[in-house]
Structure 1
Amino acid sequence: MRERVLRLAERPGADKVFGARGHGFRLGPVMSEEQLRALEADLGVDLPAQYRSFLLHVGGGGAGPDYGLTTPTLGDGGWQWRGIGLAFSAQPTTAEFAGRPFVAEALQSELAALEAQEPEKDAFAADEEFRRAYAAWDAHYEELHDAQEAGTVFLSEQGCGYASLMVMTGPHRGAIWEDLRPMDRGIEPTGLDFACWYRSWLDRTEQRLET
């Protein structure tokens, strides 16, 4: 698979593939077993098997769907996924955050209920009372909104605020979900595991470039 990906850079029209200018069909170095165990120690759970195999045999990050895959990187604060080698910025994810429980489904129900409780100015006798109530409501909404990402890795930037996430904990572990919050749709499952998601991108790209 690594050879298939790297060969794409040599094909005419490769730079016209969506996202290719972000990753250039470059793959980072594969990770060692020792590095993976250290990453899992910070994460608090084992990496999903398909993704672990990818890191061990294909590459640590780089070429992939949309603007490319983030890379597990060891820094002063421990392991985190960053957009190493990608031309466009990518949201970092710490291993500690990725190892938290994934509760996006439950939070979406809470958010829907909270939206129905948004304070209305006409219900308050004084403006200051309304401002305090709205500030408290808004802070709680933002807390739940951001908490939907817990238990996932920000894996690939799609552009315009959309992203592909990989679930790291719970019953959906190893599945790819999409962050569709810019269109007010929350974080939703794609129905694909990591291997299907990545291979589908590779097959489509090879077909387009007639490899």
Structure 2
Amino acid sequence: MNRPAVPRPLTEAEVIEAEAELGVTFPSEYRHYLLQVSSGGAVEQLEKTENGWWWAGNSTKRRDLLPLPFPHPDTYEDADDEFYRRLPRAEDYADEDAFSESMNGWNTEYWDFNERKTAGSFVAKEHGCGFATLLVITGPFAGTLWWDGRATSDLIIPLSLDHAGGARPVTFGEWLGRDSWDLLPPGWGRA
């Protein structure tokens, strides 16, 4: 199937239907973009599929987490450390089967915990190698963009025009037309 280079904007009825189905209200700048510019283009396309409304390129994201508020990374720092302290060690188990069972349980719990770190957001732009730009849809950071750098650093950080001055996350409107790599802290990820 050939997709147009820039998908058409959505209608007001489509946006209302998508918001109702997803259990969210889109941030105003993103909503305006969907209605006036495109359902995709600069971001992953919001589309209605056989599974309902969702974003292209986000098939592995959990739908049930979208209505939850996006958590600031500082809020789970201690919990992250606690998970690693509870990492099973082979020497603490009588045999390999018991260790494997414990490790499987830990992995399942940690996978869920990691998924919750991006609750309330979707991948707006995929950058390859596990890096992505997230657009926050819900919570106090709704309408801002964040860098998911967990592939190499285990960090999610705000994309910002002013990292030296407090790193206020950019809004969707500020981000449009910019390269997410240029909104990272100085020296991050570029040799």
TM-score bracket relative to the smaller structure: 0.7 to 0.9
Q: CA deviation at 1:186?
A: 2.8
The aligned runs of 1:185-204 (5 Å cut-off) are 185-190=154-159, 191-201=169-179
**In structure 1, what is the equivalent of residue 54 of structure 2?**
80
Q: Render the CA deviation track for 1:62-102: whole Å, top value 9, x for unaligned.
A: 2x3xxxx21111122221111xxxxxxx2335765422332
The aligned runs of 1:35-184 (5 Å cut-off) are 35-62=14-41, 64=42, 69-82=43-56, 90-92=57-59, 96-103=64-71, 105=73, 106-184=75-153
Indicate whether 1:29 and 2:8 are aligned. Answer: yes
Q: Render the CA deviation track for 1:144-175: whole Å, top value 9, x for unaligned.
A: 11222221111111121111111111111111
Q: Which amino acid is the alignment partner of residue 80 of structure 1?
A: W
Which structure has the larger Rg?
Answer: 1
Q: Where do 5+ consecutive residues of structure 1 fail to align?
A: 1-22, 83-89, 205-211
- Give the alignment's TM-score, normalised by structure 2: 0.77
Give 3-state SS (helix, strand or coil) of 2:145's partner.
strand
Q: CA deviation at 1:110?
A: 1.6
1:153·1:165 contact (CA, 8 Å) conserved in 2?
yes
Q: Which has the higher helix share?
A: 1
User: What's the % identity of the aligned pairs?
Assistant: 26
Q: Which amino acid is the alignment partner of residue 78 of structure 1?
A: G
Residues in 2 aligned to 1:149 and 1:91: alpha-carbon distance in whole angstroms: 12
Q: Where do 5+ consecutive residues of structure 2 fail to align?
A: 160-168, 183-191
Residues in 2 aligned to 1:41 and 1:133: alpha-carbon distance in whole angstroms: 40
Count of residue correspondences: 167
The Cα RMSD (Å) is 2.4
Give 3-state SS (helix, strand or coil) of 1:165's partner.
strand
